């Protein structure tokens, strides 16, 4: 009786954690999905717990797939891509026909579709340097493009890759951003106000007299005749002065009879 009770207690002690663990494995993904559908960021936390308690051999691809999808939905691109890559390595490989997966709704195409979106998000965030990531997104979804939905997704990614690879040259803002208002404002922008303001007052100034040159005959009179040679009596010529003296002597002889006619050499007594 006692032994049965011990076994019962021991079984409960063992089964309880197992039941709790199993319940958590089932409940956490369900709770995570509910939070994901409502747009709550708590979905990331719940899926993270599911990853932590789920061993890889028990459908190990679903836990990282759910977590990676939730992380992408809340802009955790790098972490989401890492978990989806893990899910792709764990998921069972689907059958292919000429490189295409027939069941595009199966586990592999689900993982590939979301992982392709993760690569695309990384490429967009990288801008012009994200062409390689965009190409990786195209290659990842390629086996699942037999469905129209995935095909359209791939075509959109190709277009984005082309835009990322095409350089966007900066257009010239203006062929003549600042034209000169007057290309030829003035042939002489600052001419001198009077190019000949004052001619030389004596362009031919008096040169030094040539010692070998004859002196000038004297100033020219208004009628052009040279002035006579100046005399000791200003204003009179020598001949005029002599005539005046002779005239005065003659008058004295006529008034004084004592003087004879000296012209004949005889006294006048």
What are the residue ranges spanned by the domains of the chain? 2-165
- This prediction's pTM: 0.55
Could you give the CA distance from residue 149 to residue 110 in angstroms, rounded to a whole number?
12
pLDDT of residue 243: 58
Q: What is the mean pLDDT of residues 214-225?
A: 41
User: Is the pLDDT higher at 195 or at 117?
Assistant: 117
Could you give the CA distance from residue 130 to residue 135 in angstroms, rounded to a whole number?
9
User: Which residue in 46, 89, 44 sits closest to 68, CA to CA?
Assistant: 44
pLDDT of residue 101: 92
What is residue 214's DSSP assignment?
A: P
Query: How many alpha carbons lie under 13 Å from residue 138 in its C-beta half-sphere?
Result: 15
Query: How many alpha carbons lie under 13 Å from residue 104 in its C-beta half-sphere?
Result: 14
Indicate the class that CATH gives domain 2-165. Answer: mainly alpha
What single string gives the DSSP state of each residue in 140-206? HHGGGTTSHHHHHHHHHHHHHHHHHHS------S-SSSS--S-SSS-SSSS--S-SSSS--TTSSPP
Cβ-based neighbours of 69, under 8 Å, separated by 6 or more: 36, 80, 84, 114
Is residue 114's pLDDT more than 90? Answer: yes
pLDDT of residue 247: 62
User: Is the pLDDT higher at 59 or at 38?
Assistant: 38
Query: Which tens digit of pLDDT belongs to each residue from 120-152?
Result: 999 999 888 888 999 999 999 999 998 888 888
Angle between helices 62-73 and 2-38 (to 10 degrees): 30
């Amino acid at each position: 009786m006692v032994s049965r009770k011990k076994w019962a207690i021991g079984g409960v002690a063992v089964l309880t954690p197992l039941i709790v663990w199993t319940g958590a494995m089932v409940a956490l993904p369900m709770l995570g999905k509910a939070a994901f559908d409502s747009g709550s960021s708590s979905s990331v936390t719940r899926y993270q717990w599911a990853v932590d308690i789920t061993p890889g051999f028990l459908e190990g691809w679903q836990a990282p797939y759910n977590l990676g999808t939730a992380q992408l939905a809340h802009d955790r691109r790098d972490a989401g891509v890492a978990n989806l890559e893990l899910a792709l390595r764990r998921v069972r490989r689907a059958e292919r026909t000429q490189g295409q997966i027939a069941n595009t709704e199966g586990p592999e195409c689900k993982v590939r579709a979301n992982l392709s979106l993760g690569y695309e998000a990384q490429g967009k965030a990288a801008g012009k340097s994200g062409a390689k990531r965009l190409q990786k997104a195209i290659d990842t979804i390629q086996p699942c493009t037999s469905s129209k939905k995935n095909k359209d997704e791939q075509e959109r990614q190709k277009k984005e890759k082309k835009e990322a690879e095409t350089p966007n040259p900066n257009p010239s803002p203006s062929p003549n951003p600042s034209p000169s208002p007057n290309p030829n404002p003035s042939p002489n922008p600052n001419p001198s106000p009077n190019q000949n303001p004052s001619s030389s007052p004596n362009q031919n100034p008096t040169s030094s007299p040539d010692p070998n040159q004859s002196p000038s005959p004297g100033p020219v009179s208004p009628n052009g005749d040279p002035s006579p040679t100046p005399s000791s009596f200003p204003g009179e010529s020598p001949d005029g002065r002599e005539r005046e003296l002779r005239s005065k002597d003659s008058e004295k002889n006529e008034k004084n009879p004592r003087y004879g006619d000296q012209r004949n050499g005889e006294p006048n007594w």
